[in-house]
Amino acid sequence: MAGMTEGPATEYARTVPTWHPEQWWDVESKALGSARDLRVALAHFAPASAWKGLSRNVPTALGCLLTIANIASFTLPVIAAFLMIGWLVGTPADDPLRPVAPVGIAGILAAIAAVIAGIGLIDEARSPDRASAGIGRLLGALHLVPSAAAALIAVIAIAQQSAGGVLGILGLVLDLAVGILHFVVYRGPATDQTRRWHRNLARLESARDAVPEPERARILADIRGAVDALVGRDLVSDEDGLRALAAPVGMLGMTMAPRADLTPGGGRSA
């Protein structure tokens, strides 16, 4: 009968064959259950091994589409640049059979990338804690460098009256401008993530406060059952069990197995 009322964290603790400190995150993710917002907020502070459990039942279809779009946004300019470079070096300029430069195609690819990146840039400007300045400038370079090279070659092709789809240069210039904007938006120090860390912590505290009292009691009861099971099976010490029980809701993993590489300054701890 007891097993019928046990929470998922307790069931996990009764059946896990071995134990590693990072598994406290598994206990916590299972105990949090329907507290989805808290699990999502907690993922910022969790090790990679815990992300799957914390993202359980979180819609991922839109996230997959956004990931594909983001990948396209910085690969399409590179493809466009390769098309233009291929035209430039592929056939001698004095060859009467030399094909026209694919300015139009390159411009379309660059324009698509610029639109996707521009939308992401607006989102980042509203929530600057989502990415570090260093990453933002790297993404900007992936637009700026290939589109600048492609635009330069497009100018050469147009000057030689060998360009196909002349207006495509506008797409290349647009993506070049988006690349420059990345450097404007992400103009802070590349390693300064203190503000981001504190915003994620504030988001976590807000999600913890939003957990209803009955759900909070259920979570604590499930964690208490899991700790009793782990101590009873000699997988964790009595001391660690007491520390785990003292952790507030949403702070079990951070208390028992904090990420060694996560500090308020965004750097690695000594």
Does pLDDT of 179 surpass 90? yes
Which residue did the predictor score with more confidence, 128 or 146? 146
pLDDT for 191 equals: 52
Does pLDDT of 26 surpass 50? yes
Reported as a pLDDT band with limits 50, 70 and 90, residue 49 is confident
Q: For tokens 């690349």, name the residue.
A: 179
Chain mean pLDDT for the chain: 83
Question: CA-CA distance, 264 to 248, in Å (whole number)?
Answer: 20
pTM here is 0.58
pLDDT for 37 equals: 83
**Burial class (CB within 10 angstroms; exposed 0-12, middle 13-18, buried 19+) of 117:** buried
CA-CA distances (angstroms) from residue 212 to 10, 43, 111, 206, 244? 21, 20, 47, 12, 21
92-96, 113-117, 142-146 — which is least confidently predicted? 92-96
Question: CA-CA distance, 250 to 239, in Å (whole number)?
Answer: 20
Does pLDDT of 64 surpass 70? no
- The string of pLDDT tens digits covering residues 210-220 is 889 999 999 99
Reported as a pLDDT band with limits 50, 70 and 90, residue 126 is low
**What is the mean predicted confidence (pLDDT) over 43-53?**
78
pLDDT for 74 equals: 87
Does pLDDT of 181 surpass 50? yes
CB atoms within 10 A of CB 192: 14
Question: CA-CA distance, 187 to 133, in Å (whole number)?
Answer: 7
**What is the mean predicted confidence (pLDDT) over 162-181?**
94
- The string of pLDDT tens digits covering residues 2-21 is 444 678 999 999 999 999 99
Q: For tokens 């069990």, name the residue.
A: 241
**pLDDT over 90 percentage in the chain:** 46
pLDDT for 115 equals: 94
What secondary structure does DSSP assign to the chain, as a single string?
Answer: -HHHH--HHHHHHHH-SS--TTHHHHHHHHHHTT-HHHHHHHGGGS-HHHHHHHTTT---HHHHHHHHHHHHHHHHHHHHHHHHHHHHHHS-TT-TTPPPB-HHHHHHHHHHHHHHHHHHHHHHHH-GGGS-HHHHHHHHHHHHHHHHHHHHHHHHHHHTT-BSSTTHHHHHHHHHHHHHHHHHHT-S-TT--HHHHHHHHHHHHHHHHTS-HHHHHHHHHHHHHHHHHHHHTTSS-HHHHHHHHHSPTT-HHHHHS--TT--TTSS---
**What is the mean predicted confidence (pLDDT) over 82-88?**
93
CA-CA distances (angstroms) from residue 96 to 35, 103, 108, 216? 68, 19, 27, 77
pLDDT for 124 equals: 67
50-64, 89-103, 164-178 — which is least confidently predicted? 50-64
Reported as a pLDDT band with limits 50, 70 and 90, residue 45 is confident
Please state the separation of Cα 65 from the chain's center in Å: 13
